[in-house]
Amino acid sequence: MNHKGLSIAMMSLLLGACASSTVPQQGQWQQTGPDGQPLQTLQLKDGQLSASAGCNRMFGSARIEQGRLVVGPLASTLMACAPEAMQREQTLAALLRSRPQVRLDGDKLLIGEVAQQQVWQPVAAPAHVTKPVPAVVTPAAAAEQVTQRLIYVAPERRACVGVAPMQCLQVRERQQQPWQHHYGEIEGFTPEAGTAYRLRIREIKVANPPADAPDRRWVLDSIVEQIRIAP
């Protein structure tokens, strides 16, 4: 190998080492428009990705492999937006699915090949966090022993056996948890196959339930998110 070839090889190794030492593990970044308002946002945290191009929120699993962002199947919320926002969203989704190169330049995130690299600015942490106002619990609700919960509902049911064979909803409280059977229905909620949900429910303790019935009822309070799972 001549000196020129050796120099190029050494430079490639050094650049590769530099890039591997500055790959992002977690953080939040954005691209802004001329008015300074965010056009696109992206967050990496605990092996999960969340991204938006100003319309729907996309999310899924994510990891860094050899300086590339590898994203699992993306789910998305289902809002209809202005055509330019929808086009921007499709472009961002295609970029995320393409296993793009990623690295940090200081606190900036660089995405894509060098010739078409995008620069994303870090999102500053909020100066303070406002504590939520405690919910008012009426005497009737207290007597009924009502607990509010946030749960995820999977897009498909699974076979299970309660009193008899049945198809159970799959639920969990955190995205990192495994799915669990819910032996029963959620009052006021009719799920659509192929759509995942995040729900706010009221869990009501049942006084003196029958021997073959659960001691708690789940009642829909609100649908927080409704997501069609992308193929």
Q: Look at residue 18 in the predicted model and tell me its pLDDT.
A: 43
More confident residue, 145 or 45: 45
Is residue 4 over pLDDT 70?
no
pTM of the model: 0.48
Q: Look at residue 11 in the predicted model and tell me its pLDDT.
A: 47
The length of the chain in residues reads 231
Is residue 127 over pLDDT 70?
no
Q: Residue 153: pLDDT band by 50, 70, 90 thresholds?
A: very high
Per the domain annotation, does 10 fall within a domain?
A: no
Provide mean pLDDT across the span 67-71.
91
d(CA 227, CA 197): 6
Task: Let me know whether 159 and 194 are in one domain.
Answer: yes
Per the domain annotation, does 18 fall within a domain?
A: no
From 97, 122, 147, the end of a domain falls on 122
Per the domain annotation, does 165 fall within a domain?
A: yes
Per the domain annotation, does 134 fall within a domain?
A: no
Task: Let me know whether 143 and 104 are in one domain.
Answer: no
Task: Judge residue 153's burial from the number of C-beta atoms within 10 Å of its C-beta, 0-12 exposed, 13-18 middle, 19 or more buried.
Answer: buried
Looking up residue 60, the CATH number of its domain turns out to be 2.40.128.270
Task: Let me know whether 87 and 160 are in one domain.
Answer: no
Task: Let me know whether 164 and 201 are in one domain.
Answer: yes
Per the domain annotation, does 172 fall within a domain?
A: yes
Q: What is the number of structural domains in the chain?
A: 2
From 90, 122, 154, the end of a domain falls on 122
Which segments within the chain are labelled E, that is strand? 27-32, 38-45, 48-52, 57-65, 68-71, 75-77, 102-105, 108-111, 118-122, 146-153, 158-161, 165-172, 180-182, 195-205, 216-229
Per the domain annotation, does 8 fall within a domain?
A: no
Q: Look at residue 53 in the predicted model and tell me its pLDDT.
A: 86
Task: Let me know whether 150 and 82 are in one domain.
Answer: no
Token readout for 77 is 């919320």
Task: Let me know whether 28 and 115 are in one domain.
Answer: yes
Task: Let me know whether 29 and 65 are in one domain.
Answer: yes
Is residue 189 over pLDDT 50?
yes
Per the domain annotation, does 17 fall within a domain?
A: no
More confident residue, 11 or 155: 155
Instruction: Give per-residue pLDDT as tens, 193-225.
Output: 888 899 999 888 877 766 656 778 899 988 888
- Cβ contact 147:202 at 8 Å: yes
Q: Look at residue 136 in the predicted model and tell me its pLDDT.
A: 54
Task: Let me know whether 53 and 115 are in one domain.
Answer: yes
Token readout for 153 is 């509902």
Q: Residue 95: pLDDT band by 50, 70, 90 thresholds?
A: very high
In Å, how far from its chain's centre is CA 221? 22
Task: Let me know whether 117 and 143 are in one domain.
Answer: no
Q: Which residues contact 178 (CB under 8 A, 6 or more apart)?
A: 172
Task: Let me know whether 113 and 169 are in one domain.
Answer: no
First to last CA, the chain: 48
Range of the domain at 176: 139-229
From 122, 147, 173, the end of a domain falls on 122
Number of CB atoms found within 10 A of residue 189's CB: 16
Provide mean pLDDT across the span 129-138.
51
